[in-house]
Amino acid sequence: MKAAIVTGASSGIGHAISKVLLDKNYKVYGIGRNFTDTSLISENFLQIICDITDTSALVKQITEIRKSNEIHLLVNNAGVGYFGPHEELNPGKIHEMVAVNLEAPLILSQLLLRDLKKHTGFIINVSSVTASKSNTYGCAYGATKAGLTSFSNSLFDEVRKYGVKVITLHPDMTRSNFYRHANFCEGSQEDSFLYPEEIAGAVDMILNQRDGMLISELTIKPQKHQLRKL
């Protein structure tokens, strides 16, 4: 059985992706800070409670997982965003965004590349449409996502000769708890946001590609752009 690691698996996009992988007969190690939704619990879904900003704890968890599994798929999905004028952020929030959105994916990719090379596996990085935009009121967040996209593109060029597939997803506004720190959220109309299951569907499509062919970047948007202020 193929094994996968999914960060941010306790809710939202990560939870939906984990479900798709279970349906595709992966053994899934879901990493999250807490798991209140127990709907995925099974012998093939293992909850790993870990703060991925704690590098030593993260390395320890991955080392333990690799003792009994070789990883075929890594999904760097965990993300955090704080929004507003840059001067109103604090160093703690900036550090958290860099650590979760950029540093952890870099570390996890490095730790697992030997397995992924051996199995010609996948790294799927969940970035954001903000990666290619100017982001007023989200300068730091957009910078971390731009960094993740840049890393993905460079890593693919580095490891493609080994058969490793590196894919970057750029989802737009998705209905989840991601915007819990913001003073806005997705629009009220269904054509103004995405569902986590739709992002997971993109992952399903990616995994069904012909070997030797790759969609390396995919942007997913709702038909309309609309925000609601809170």
- Helix axis angle, 104-118 to 139-159, nearest 10°: 20
Distance CA 22, CA 106 (A): 25
| Nearest Cα to Cα of residue 69 among 4, 19, 163, 113 | 4
What's the confidence (pLDDT) of residue 109? Answer: 98
Alpha-carbon torsion, ordered 10, 156, 54, 95, to 10 deg: -100
Q: How confident is the model at residue 220 (pLDDT cuts 50, 70, 90)?
A: very high
Architecture of domain 3-229: 3-Layer(aba) Sandwich (3.40)
Tens of pLDDT along 164-187?
Answer: 999 999 999 999 989 888 888 888
Q: How confident is the model at residue 132 (pLDDT cuts 50, 70, 90)?
A: very high
What's the confidence (pLDDT) of residue 181? Answer: 84
What's the confidence (pLDDT) of residue 38? Answer: 81
**Helix segments in the chain, DSSP class H:** 12-23, 55-68, 91-98, 104-118, 139-159, 196-207
Q: Is the pLDDT of residue 39 over 90?
A: no
Tens of pLDDT along 47-101?
Answer: 999 999 999 999 999 999 999 999 999 999 999 999 999 999 999 999 999 999 9
Q: Is the pLDDT of residue 204 over 90?
A: yes
Separation in Å, CA 77 to CA 7, 121, 161, 200, 211: 5, 17, 25, 11, 23
The answer to whether 83 and 183 have CB atoms below 8 angstroms apart is yes
Quote the longest CA-to-CA distance of the chain.
Answer: 49
Mean of per-residue pLDDT scores for the chain: 96
| Nearest Cα to Cα of residue 15 among 191, 209, 228, 175 | 175
Residue labelled with tokens 């506004």 = 173
Q: Is the pLDDT of residue 17 over 90?
A: yes
Structure tokens at 35: 């798991």
- The SS3 of residue 159 is helix
Write the CB contacts of 16 (distance below 8 Å, at least 6 apart in sequence).
195, 196, 197, 199, 200
Average pLDDT rounded to a whole number, residues 108-129: 98
What's the confidence (pLDDT) of residue 9? Answer: 97
Distance of CA 44 to the CA centre of its chain: 20
What's the confidence (pLDDT) of residue 41? Answer: 82
What's the confidence (pLDDT) of residue 166? Answer: 98
Give percent above pLDDT 70 in the chain.
Answer: 100
- The residue with greater pLDDT, 154 or 40, is 154
Q: Is the pLDDT of residue 146 over 90?
A: yes
- The residue ranges of every structural domain in the chain are 3-229
| Nearest Cα to Cα of residue 2 among 20, 38, 23, 28 | 28
